[in-house]
C-alpha cells in the first residue's frame, strides 16, 4: 500500500488510502483544466482573498494540522507547529504580493513602446516529499495558484493525512474544485500525468534520483520543470568564529527535523586551530539530546520518518566505517523502540569513501578538519551537490568573501541555511534547478509575453 500513515514512534498503522483508479485520474484532470479557464480569468484580488483565507485557516487549525505531521513522520510537535505557521506565512505572502510580482514591465531601453506581461500557463503538476509535509506544498501551490495557474500534487506515500488536510484548506477557503487537487497515484500514473497535454509544467522536490526520472519525462514532453533536489551542505567554521554560538547553530543545523532536511548541515568543515574545541562541544551537545515521544515537549530527538529511512542511514554509516571512517559518536539504532537513530558524528572520511559524496538524510554529521580558508572552500566545493551552505566568522567581510566562492544556490553567514517566504530557495548541480519562494519563485511557471507597439512600414 503506497499511501499509508504509519507512526514511526510505535509502528502503529493509522490510516491507509487506495490509489486513484484511471477513470478518477482522468476526471480530476478534466476538472483541473476546466477550473483553470475560470480561475485564470479572475482578477488578482479574488484569488488573493482566497489565499488570505487559506492562511488564516491554517493558523486557526494549528494543532489539527500539526498533529498528523508528528504522527505520520515523527517531527517534534513544536517543530510541526512551526512548520504550519511558516506555511501559512508563505500562502499569505503570495496572496498579498502576486499582483506586484507579476505586474507588466515596461521595457525602458526598447525601440518603440514595449512591455512584458506575465500570464499563467495552465495546470501544473507537483511531486513532493514528506520531510516538510505542508511547507513543501505551500512553496509550490501558493505562488502558482496566486499567479492564476491551478495545481495537481502527488505527495509522498507516507504523509497522506497531511496531503488531504492541505487540499481541504483550499476548498474550505473557497477555492473552486480543481484549483488544488491531491492525487494518490502510482509512479506509472505520475508518468501518465506528465505526458498528459493538459499539464503545462512540472515541479519536483525530492531526491536527485527521482528528479532525474521526472525531469527526463518532462523534457521528453518539452514541458518546463523545476527541480529542488538533495544536498550535502557545508557548515564552514573559520578560526575567528564565536564558538559557543556556532556550536549551538551546528546542533540546530544538524538536528532540526532529525537531520531530514535537504539543507541540513551535513559536512562540518572546521579550521584546525579550533577543530578540537568545536568537536568536543558539538559531541557533548549531541550526546545530551533526549529521545522520546515526539508529541512530548521534553523530547529533543524524535524518530526518523520511517523504518526504511532508518535502515538506509544505518547502512550508509556501516559502509562509511568499512571504508575507513571513524565513529566519534553514535552510529547505531537508538535504544528507544521505533525508528530511532543515535546522533552520530563521523570523521576521517577520505575522498575515496562513498560517504564523502553521499547525502546522509538523518542525524549523521560528517566532520572534516582543514588547514585554512582556501582548503575549506575547496572541500565545500568538492561535491556533486550545490544546494546551500553556511560560513561562521566574526568578520562579515571575510564571510562574504568565502560565500562568494562557495558553489551553491544559497550561502548564509553566521546562521545555517534558512528559509522565509521572501528568500529565494534552490540549488545548482545535482541539487537541481529553478527557484521556489520570493519574487523568483512565482516567475517559474508564467509566460513572459512581449507586447510591442510601433507604427513602421515593412522593409522594402
Nearer to ligand NAP, 210 or 286 (CB): 210
Nearer to ligand NAP, 359 or 444 (CB): 359
Q: Does 231 bind ligand NAP (CB under 6 A)?
A: yes
- Could you say which of 33, 83, 228, 373 is catalytic? 228
Plot region of 432 (φ>0 → left; ψ -120 to 50 → alpha; else → beta): left
User: How far from the centroid of its chain's Cα atoms is residue 274's Cα?
Assistant: 32
- Could you say which of 33, 167, 262, 373 is catalytic? 262
Specify whether the CB–CB gap between 366 and 355 falls below 8 A: yes
Q: Does 2 bind ligand NAP (CB under 6 A)?
A: yes
Q: How far is the CB of 83 from ligand NAP (least distance, A)?
A: 12
Q: Which stretch binds ligand NAP (CB under 6 A): 6-14, 111-119, 210-218, 276-284?
A: 210-218
Q: Which stretch binds ligand NAP (CB under 6 A): 228-236, 243-251, 324-332, 440-448?
A: 228-236
Active site residue 262: yes
Nearer to ligand NAP, 159 or 376 (CB): 159
Residue with cell 528559509: 419
d(CA 392, CA 239): 9
User: What residues contact residue 103 under an 8 Å CB cut-off, 6+ apart?
Assistant: 118
Residue 116 exposed, middle or buried by CB count within 10 Å (0-12, 13-18, 19+): middle
Nearer to ligand NAP, 154 or 283 (CB): 154
Q: Does 199 bind ligand NAP (CB under 6 A)?
A: no
Q: How far is the CB of 297 from ligand NAP (least distance, A)?
A: 26
Angle at 78 (CA atoms; ends 74, 82), nearest 5 degrees? 105
d(CA 54, CA 275): 47
Question: Where in 154-183 is the site for ligand NAP (CB under 6 A)?
Answer: 154-157
Look at residue 266 and give its three-state secondary structure: strand
Q: Which stretch binds ligand NAP (CB under 6 A): 13-21, 209-217, 319-327, 366-374?
A: 209-217
Beta strands in 306-408 (DSSP E): 326-329, 344-347, 364-370, 385-386, 389-392
Q: Does 341 bind ligand NAP (CB under 6 A)?
A: no
Active site residue 35: no
Look at residue 386 and give its three-state secondary structure: strand
Q: How far is the CB of 35 from ligand NAP (least distance, A)?
A: 23
- Which listed residue (207, 300, 348, 414) binds ligand NAP by CB under 6 A? 207
Residue 186: φ, ψ to 5°: -85, 170
Q: How far is the CB of 130 from ligand NAP (least distance, A)?
A: 5
Q: Does 429 bind ligand NAP (CB under 6 A)?
A: no
Residue with cell 507588466: 104
Cα 408 to Cα 2, 231, 286, 375: the distances in Å are 34, 10, 27, 17
Q: Does 213 bind ligand NAP (CB under 6 A)?
A: yes
Three-state SS for 105-152 is: EECCCCCCEEEEEEEECCEEEEECCCCCCCHHHHHHHHHHHHHCCEEE
Q: Does 411 bind ligand NAP (CB under 6 A)?
A: no
Nearer to ligand NAP, 81 or 435 (CB): 435
Nearer to ligand NAP, 148 or 434 (CB): 434
Question: Where in 281-310 is the site for ligand NAP (CB under 6 A)?
Answer: none
Q: Does 262 bind ligand NAP (CB under 6 A)?
A: yes
Question: Where in 383-402 is the site for ligand NAP (CB under 6 A)?
Answer: 387
Question: In the structure grid, which three cell numbers stand for residue 302, read together?
Answer: 524524535
- Which listed residue (5, 205, 353, 430) binds ligand NAP by CB under 6 A? 205
Q: How far is the CB of 159 from ligand NAP (least distance, A)?
A: 8
Q: Does 184 bind ligand NAP (CB under 6 A)?
A: no
Nearest Cα to 221, choosing from 198, 187, 199, 195? 195
Q: Does 110 bind ligand NAP (CB under 6 A)?
A: no
Cα 144 to Cα 47, 298, 343: the distances in Å are 11, 39, 38
User: How far from the centroid of its chain's Cα atoms is residue 449's Cα?
Assistant: 29
**Among all residues, which ones are annotated catalytic?**
228, 262
**Residues in touch with ligand NAP (CB under 6 A):** 2, 127-131, 154-157, 187, 190, 205-207, 210, 213-214, 228-231, 262, 359, 361, 387, 427, 431-432
Amino acid at each position: 500500500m503506497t499511501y499509508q500513515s504509519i507512526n514511526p514512534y510505535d509502528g502503529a498503522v493509522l490510516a491507509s488510502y487506495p490509489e486513484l483508479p484511471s477513470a478518477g485520474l482522468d476526471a480530476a484532470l478534466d476538472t483541473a483544466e476546466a477550473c483553470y479557464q475560470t480561475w485564470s480569468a479572475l482578477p488578482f484580488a479574488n484569488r488573493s482573498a482566497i489565499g488570505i483565507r487559506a492562511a488564516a485557516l491554517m493558523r486557526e487549525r494549528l494543532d489539527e494540522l500539526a498533529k498528523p505531521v508528528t504522527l505520520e513522520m515523527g517531527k517534534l510537535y513544536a517543530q510541526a507547529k512551526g512548520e504550519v505557521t511558516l506555511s501559512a506565512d508563505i500562502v499569505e505572502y503570495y496572496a498579498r504580493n502576486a499582483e506586484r510580482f507579476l505586474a507588466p514591465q515596461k521595457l525602458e531601453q526598447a525601440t518603440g513602446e514595449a512591455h512584458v506581461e506575465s500570464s499563467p500557463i495552465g495546470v501544473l503538476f507537483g511531486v513532493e516529499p514528506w520531510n516538510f509535509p505542508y511547507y513543501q506544498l505551500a512553496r509550490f501551490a501558493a505562488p502558482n495558484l496566486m499567479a492564476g495557474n491551478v495545481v495537481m500534487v502527488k505527495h509522498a506515500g507516507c504523509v497522506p493525512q497531511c496531503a488531504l488536510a492541505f487540499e481541504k484548506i483550499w476548498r474550505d477557503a473557497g477555492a473552486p474544485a480543481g484549483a488544488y487537487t491531491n492525487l494518490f497515484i502510482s509512479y506509472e500514473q505520475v508518468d501518465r500525468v506528465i505526458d498528459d497535454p493538459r499539464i503545462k509544467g512540472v515541479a519536483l522536490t525530492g531526491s536527485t534520483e527521482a528528479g532525474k526520472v521526472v525531469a527526463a519525462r518532462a523534457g521528453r514532453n518539452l514541458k518546463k520543470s523545476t527541480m529542488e533536489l538533495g544536498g550535502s551542505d557545508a557548515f564552514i567554521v573559520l578560526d575567528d568564529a564565536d564558538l559557543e554560538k556556532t556550536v549551538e547553530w551546528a546542533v540546530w543545523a544538524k538536528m532540526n527535523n532529525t537531520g531530514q532536511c535537504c539543507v541540513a548541515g551535513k559536512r562540518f568543515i572546521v579550521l584546525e586551530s579550533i577543530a578540537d574545541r568545536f568537536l568536543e562541544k558539538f559531541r557533548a551537545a549531541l550526546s545530551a539530546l533526549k529521545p522520546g515521544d515526539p508529541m512530548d515537549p521534553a523530547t529533543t530527538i524524535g524518530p526518523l520518518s520511517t523504518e526504511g529511512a532508518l535502515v538506509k542511514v544505518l547502512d550508509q554509516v556501516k559502509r562509511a566505517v568499512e571504508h575507513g571512517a571513524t565513529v566519534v559518536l553514535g552510529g547505531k539504532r537508538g535504544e528507544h523502540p521505533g525508528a530511532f537513530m543515535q546522533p552520530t558524528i563521523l570523521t576521517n572520511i577520505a575522498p575515496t569513501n562513498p560517504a564523502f559524496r553521499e547525502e546522509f538524510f538523518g542525524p549523521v554529521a560528517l566532520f572534516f578538519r582543514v588547514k585554512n580558508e582556501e582548503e575549506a572552500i575547496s572541500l565545500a566545493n568538492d561535491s556533486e551537490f550545490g544546494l546551500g551552505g553556511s560560513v561562521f566568522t566574526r568578520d562579515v567581510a571575510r564571510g562574504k568573501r568565502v560565500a562568494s566562492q562557495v558553489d551553491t544556490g544559497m550561502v548564509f553567514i553566521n546562521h545555517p541555511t534558512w528559509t522565509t517566504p521572501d528568500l529565494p530557495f534552490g540549488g545548482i548541480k545535482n541539487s537541481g534547478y529553478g527557484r521556489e519562494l520570493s519574487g523568483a519563485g512565482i516567475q517559474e511557471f508564467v509566460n513572459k509575453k512581449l507586447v510591442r507597439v510601433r507604427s513602421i512600414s515593412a522593409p522594402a
